[in-house]
Amino acid sequence: MKLFAWSQSGQRLLDNTNDAVANAKFHDRKRSGVGAKLINKPMRVTFEYIDAVGMIFEGQDKPNFYFTNTAAGNGADAKGSGWYLDLGFYVPNSKWELDARYDTVELNSGRLDEHRFSKWTIGTQYIYSPMARVTFNYEMRDFECTGKQASGALSAQCGNANGNLSGVGGKLSMQVTTAF
């Protein structure tokens, strides 16, 4: 059994205005988490809760991170949190492992563009050697913008985002990992 806690903090300099004037300011970036891991072969269980304040990454194509003020929902001063539960089963007398995982993250908490990403993952690994393995996963993903206006209705940002996210389905992946 392993219990763990971690924290990191710092600042990043960012000019998130759209006025052609260099007026960058420092924004806090804080991350912390707590968790536990238990390995008692053939079972493995891991849980972790994570909290984030400031400089929430919005993705490479998010101009609103730079060109909207804080009230409109950019990630420079935003908050977020998430957690996951990961279960594993080592198949006795074989090189196979079965995995199941649930994870969820909520970003921009309390803002007009608040959103939640959650997924269930089921998978298997074939451990060829201590230095090489092949992993197969299927993810059942649920993405939703949950930000509300003062009236309680979904924000305009969420209407657009949910329209884009409605077409996102499951994901099948294969990964080869090797160390040398």
Name 91's Cβ contacts closer than 8 Å, sequence gap at least 6: 42, 97, 98
pTM of the model: 0.81
The arithmetic mean of pLDDT across residues 121-129, rounded, is: 96
Name 65's Cβ contacts closer than 8 Å, sequence gap at least 6: 16, 58, 74, 75, 76
Q: Backbone phi, then psi, for 153, in 5-degree steps?
A: -80, 155
Residue 152: CB atoms within 10 A of its CB come to: 6
Q: Is 139 helix (H, G, I), strand (E, B) or coil?
A: strand
The residue range of the domain holding 75 is 2-178
pLDDT reported for residue 58: 66
CA angle (57, 59, 60) in 5-degree steps: 125
pLDDT reported for residue 113: 78
Residue 21's pLDDT band (boundaries 50, 70, 90)? confident
Q: What is the DSSP string of 69-122?
A: -GGGT-STT-EEEEEEEEEEEEPTTSSEEEEEEEEEEEESTTSTT-EEEEEEEE
Starting at the edge strand found earlier in the chain, the sheet holding 79-90 runs 2-14, 25-40, 43-53, 79-90, 96-107, 115-129, 132-145, 171-178
- The count of domains in the chain is 1
Residue 60's pLDDT band (boundaries 50, 70, 90)? low
Residue 61's pLDDT band (boundaries 50, 70, 90)? low
